[in-house]
Amino acid sequence: MANNGPNGQWYPPTWPDRIRAHRRGELTPVVPRRAATVMLLRDGAGTRTGPEVHMIRRRASMAFAGGAYAYPGGAVDPRDEAEVRWGGPDRTAWADRLGVGPAEAQAVVCAAVRETFEEAGVLLAGPDARTVVADTTGADWEADRRALVERELSFAAFLARRDLVLRSDLLGAWARWITPEFEERRYDTWFFVAALPPGQRTRNASTEADRTVWTAPADAAAGYDRGELLMMPPTIATLRDLAGLDAAADALTASAGRDLTPVLAEVTLEGEEIVLSWPGHEEFEKRILPR
């Protein structure tokens, strides 16, 4: 866990030295791994207005963002490019939307669906392009989920075994963030939104998380502002975006107009002071004085 400010912004203690090394040309940036994460939404219960979002808390022992709240997600598996039965916008449409080639676009979408099943037990797939599975609990589903996590089973083989169609139309691309160049673990991550399918329920299925919650985005953001919840910049930025929605279904509609220009931190010098900023997100600016 790392945070040196009044709010809950994740800020590792190793960053100042790595930033200076990067500025001196002594640090070669790691090539970021492609990744996907999904903001699962459901309509609030009772008198609450607006949707709730499913969040996980990463174990404090995790090397990257330990103790931080995030969404289910992870890196692309090279096998995510394997052919699968597909429903919704085709690979070419997704390639145009994500700004990559068709094979890469499929891999990112497959990673989003696969990781959501692996970490939350929710599967955005169905027997055909108009339906979605209603229940993913039970010993047989759990065996397949574990096989996916252990990479003993590819996602394509999993879908084929169960004769399922990936429902890409249940996803909406929301944002794209790239880990700063000076971080040793880097990801080029697409953030997606999706409504929790009827009949399915989330569970803490991830060994990387020690807690899961359904929370109103505004409540989670308030916890961050008070310094009670640790989050990385893209997490709190997307939470603030979600806070203005009236219903879970609105997120998918709104996603069509979202700007997917990658957000990448910039480092500048003002005299002896290092300024770390994220373009378009002034609240995350950090100023680092020489020691």
Q: What is the pLDDT of residues 144-172, one digit of tens each?
A: 999 999 999 999 999 999 999 999 999 99
Give the bridge partners for 75, in sequence order: 35
Query: What pLDDT, on a 0 to 100 scale, did the predictor assign at position 47?
Result: 53
- Residue 74 in 3-state DSSP? strand
* Closest CA relative to residue 122, chosen from 72, 157, 85: 72
Residue that wins the pLDDT comparison between 5 and 218: 218
DSSP state of 28: P
| The CATH fold of domain 30-258 | Nucleoside Triphosphate Pyrophosphohydrolase (3.90.79)
Per mean pLDDT, which range of 26-40, 116-130, 260-274 is the poorest? Answer: 260-274
The values of phi and psi at residue 142, to 5°, are: -65, -35
User: How much is the mean pLDDT over the chain?
Assistant: 91
The pairing of beta strand 51-58 with beta strand 69-70: antiparallel
Domain ranges of the chain: 30-258
Distance CA 170, CA 172 (A): 7
Q: Which residues pair with 268 in a beta bridge?
A: 275
3-state secondary structure of 235: helix
- Give tens-digit pLDDT for 96-134: 999 999 999 999 999 999 999 999 999 999 999 999 999
Cβ atoms < 10 Å from Cβ of 128 = 12
- d(Cα 79, Cα 204) in Å, to the nearest integer? 25
In this predicted model, what pLDDT tens digit does every residue of 248-265 receive, in sequence order?
999 999 999 999 999 999
